[in-house]
A and B are shown apart, each in its own frame.
Chain A
Amino acid sequence: MNFDDTPQEAEFRAIARAWIGANAPRQYEDELRKSSLGRTVLKNANILEVAKAWQKKKADAGWACLHWPKEYGGRGSSPIERVIWQQEEGPFGQLSRMFIIGHGMCGPTMMAFAREEHKRSYLPPLASGEKVWCQLFSEPAGGSDVAGLRTRAEKDGDDWVINGQKIWTSGAHYSDYGILLTRTDPTVPKHKGLTMFFLDMKSPGVEVRPIKQASGASDFNEVYFTNVRIPDHQRLGEFGDGWNVSLTTLMNERSAIGAAVSTGFPELFEYCSSLMLDDGPAIEDRAVRSKLANWAVKASGLRYTSMRAISALSKGERPGPENSIGKLVAGSMIQDVATYALDLQGAAGVVSGEDAELAGRFQAMLLRAPGTRVEGGTDEIMRNIIAERVLGLPGDIRVDKDVPFNMIPTKGR
């Protein structure tokens, strides 16, 4: 048992470190290091431009999408090399946020299902960040139950005509392309009537509207489709096979190993270490210490769980299912941590924004936290996944499983 690199890993790390040292946009390092919880803001620069410039620079030197094949803009690296790169990229990895969906979900789906000429033309600019992609699955009527989606695609000559609405689309407002899951046959059970496409987000009839979230910020969008035409050669997978195609996409979403999840614990520990309560330092208060200790072991448990997965990659093995706990644990933990940080502030904890304690860091965390427990699979869906795929428990009994989609009862009928 050790935490050492193999000689090959050490060599790769040294090369990566040297290149990053010579090329990374150091002027933003401090700001990137301090950004947390899904929001990266630069005071004096446009984050989108900085991110695209860094991604292009990496791509030109062969450091973009490391695990992708070279002919599609990647480096053909092993999974462990990808993890080492992430470790070395450190805070500059924050700049990859806007590409996560494209690189992590759209790219792998294109690789598995697109025509060869499309892969060669669309994937390299996706890898280099010149083109940004988004994923259009969730709908008002299909969130956790994504197979209940209603956006229609109807064949018209060599084209498909799309009508409907998507929601919770990250980055739709700056995306060039998207992968889109649609209903092509409402007369068969819901999982069987879906088909996947990719489309140009600048197509006529696509309208993107930002959602104002409960936190007040706008990170997501609604996307409306009115008679949008998609040529049939942009279909991904067979007609009616969209559910299986989407599983490829979602599996890739969950296989991001080694990516650090925010728990809020380091921030809380630092805060409590200097905070004075009425009776003395917070860190010497029995109740505070007990809370901190309980969160400390969750945070360290997640850290070492991730290291176990990395070790499996290092040995060329498939990581076990342990990593599936990350989002479930971190999501509710960050909410509890933020709630407690405000509790320690007493009545003044109600003040948010620049005037608040630590410029409102924990207040912002509290208001953003509900989203982390929902996005990318709710806590409940994550528990179902663990119970069914890890523990082998039976799936829920589904009353709509064998019913044609257009016969499933809804609120409206």
Chain B
Amino acid sequence: MNFDFSDDQKQLRDQVRKFLAEKCSPKAVRVVLDGKAPYDKELWKGLAEMGFLGVAIPEEFGGAGAGHLELCVIAEEMGRANAPVPFSSTVYLAAEALLIAGSDAQKKKWLPAISSGEAIGTLALFEGKGNPSPKNVKLTAANGVLNGFKRPVADGAIASFAVVAARTGSSGRDGDISLFLVDLKAGGVEVKSLTNLDPTRGQADITFKDCKAEPLGAVGEGWSILTQVLDRAAVLCAFEQVGGSDRALEMGRDYALDRIAFGRQIGSFQAVKHMLADMYVSATLARSNSYYGAWALSTNAAELPEAAAAARISATQAFQHCAKNNIQVHGGMGFTWEFDCHMYYRRANAMALGLGSLTYWEDQLIDRMRKKNAA
């Protein structure tokens, strides 16, 4: 049994960590947090040069042709550094959708541009409140023309293209939904930035008005493709959440060692120690569930849907738990803008919603476990 990353993959992790420690310090994150830039362009460029953006993209499409395990390793480090770049929307959502359903021409057009950092992609799925569901997709597509509204679209204001979920039928079934590729720089698109919980990753409204679009995948296959994309992204996001959990736990631990109150290190109080021990427990469960997700993703196993849902739930809970208790360990200082604790709190809670909320994934997990038991 070798349920672990390989030595090469661990070396990659060290390399990414070192790179991000240099290029993505909390100070750099704060430039975006404070609204002085929509994302860190220099970092994005650097990630492209290092080959990290296209790590799971085949070489024929301009990528490094490594695999999803390598991408998981990078994702963890991106989460740990709270990187203010459109990595998840471009790499986990847009690129994966293209890899699953794109035509050769579509792949040739967008994947090399993603690898080189020229194109930022995203997925436009949600239309206001609610979780992923075919019935929540109201935006229509007719004769290759889209009309409707999406909210929120992650990194929508800086994206060059979007994968858009649209209604092409009205039977009440999954087959009513199709996916389209939209060049956001062409006409028929109106984008508006939104304030959101985590300013280090933008959210936007996008209105499509007689917008020309090309189908991504077969008509009526949209929901099935989307489900696969969300499962893959769930695993990859879980690694970001695991990285964030570990960092939040470390911050809390370091502060508990450093801070003196009542004449002793606060980390010697059991109320504080036990809180940190419980954070370690959550982070460990999340890591182990995510490893299983990584295995299922990298081998395209039949277990992926169940593994992805479990990783998603476990990592979401862990990141939220570690981020909020990191602030608690810090006390009043943790609630200042100056301390970095809130960046992880913001990221944790934004990530908890991005691919659909916990309620949705809990439901998915039980459905998938039942399916497996029935089989």
Residues on A facing B (Cβ under 8 Å): 1-5, 9, 269, 273, 283, 286, 289-290, 292-294, 296-298, 300-305, 307-308, 310-312, 314-315, 322, 325, 328-329, 380, 382-384, 386-388, 390-397
Contacts and interface: CB of A to CB of B under 8 A. Distances in A.
Contacts of B365: 293, 296-297
A297 B268 contact: no
B281 A328 contact: yes
Given A1-B298, A301-B286, A393 B268 contact: yes
Interface centre among B264, B359, B363, B366 (most CB of A within 10 A): B366
20 contacts: A3-B1, A4-B2, A290-B359, A293-B309, A296-B310, A297-B317, A300-B288, A300-B289, A310-B1, A310-B3, A311-B3, A322-B288, A383-B273, A386-B277, A386-B280, A387-B276, A391-B249, A393-B257, A393-B276, A394-B257
B274 interface: yes
Interface string B233-272: 0000000000000000100010011000000110110100
Contacts of B286: 301
Nearest to A304: B288
Given A3-B1, A305-B288, A386-B277, A393 B294 contact: no
A382 B273 CA distance: 11
B314 A297 contact: yes
Interface residues of B, number: 49
B369 interface: yes
B4 A311 contact: yes
B229 interface: no
A273 B366 CA distance: 10
B162 interface: no
Contacts, number: 160
B285 A383 contact: no
A393 B1 contact: no
Contacts of A325: 280-281, 284-285
Consensus secondary structure, chain A interface: helix
Contact of B253 (A273, A382, A391): A391
A296 B369 contact: yes
Contact of A396 (B1, B270, B294): B270
A384 B284 contact: no
Nearest to A310: B1
A5 B363 CA distance: 34
Given A301-B314, A328-B281, 8 more contacts: A289-B362, A290-B362, A294-B317, A296-B369, A297-B313, A301-B310, A308-B3, A383-B277
Contact of B284 (A9, A322, A380, A387): A322
A402 to B, nearest CB: 17
B1 to A, nearest CB: 5
A85 B203 CA distance: 53
Contacts of B310: 296-297, 300-301
B19 interface: no
B239 to A, nearest CB: 13
B125 interface: no
A307 B285 CA distance: 12
Contacts of A307: 1, 3, 288
Contacts of B270: 380, 383-384, 396
Interface in B271-307: 273-274, 276-278, 280-281, 284-289, 291-292, 294-295, 298-299
A4 B359 CA distance: 34
B1 A2 contact: yes
A397 B262 CA distance: 12
